[in-house]
Amino acid sequence: MGRVLTTLIVIVLLGVHALLVVIGVAGLMEWFVAQPPWPRFSNPELPRAMLALQWLLLIGAGAVFVAGYLARWRWLPFAMAASYLMLGAVCAVETFTMLTNEDRFTNMAIEYLEYTAILLFLFGAPEMRRRFRVGTHLHPQGSQGAK
């Protein structure tokens, strides 16, 4: 993967995850404020506790990605895998037990594909592997392995 393409993907991912923080904060505001200064976007089919969990997980995932990327946090790919696992579990519970719209299963599949693509990028792109030193814990620095 080229440096320019990697940079573009990273910019998009940073923007998306920053937006997740904004959406999560706005969702929490809707949770606390009876009349927010915008049209409500929280799904009325979801219980308040599920909405609170959803907003908190979005804020957490977004903040961890942005801060972890900027800090070159070695464990970011693993933290994002855990974050997406939790978000995916919430999505599954909502999809199978609460939501009624016709597109719910398609939306869940798209969400899972997005998480998978991001994780493949974080764990697989050479630039990301170098940035986060993914896999280097298996081989001491400077070691070329057994010869």
Q: For 36-45, 57-66, 79-88, 111-120, which range has the lowest pLDDT when averaged over its residues?
A: 36-45
Q: Which residue has the tokens 């280097």?
A: 136
Angle at 6 between CA 23 and CA 64, to 5 degrees: 35
**Global pTM value:** 0.87
What tokens appear for 86 in the block? 């939790």
What is the pLDDT at residue 147? 40
**Strand ranges inside 61-112, DSSP E:** none
Q: What is the mean pLDDT of residues 56-66?
A: 98
What tokens appear for 113 in the block? 């594909």
- The 10s digit of each residue's pLDDT in 31-60 is 999 889 999 989 989 999 999 999 999 999
What is the pLDDT at residue 34? 82
Smallest CA-to-CA distance from 42 within 30, 56, 60 is with: 30
Instruction: Tell me the pLDDT of the chain averaged across its residues.
Output: 91
- The 10s digit of each residue's pLDDT in 135-146 is 655 555 544 444
Smallest CA-to-CA distance from 84 within 102, 103, 65 is with: 65
As a whole number of angstroms, the distance between CA 10 and CA 8 comes to 5
Residue 141 one-letter amino acid: Q
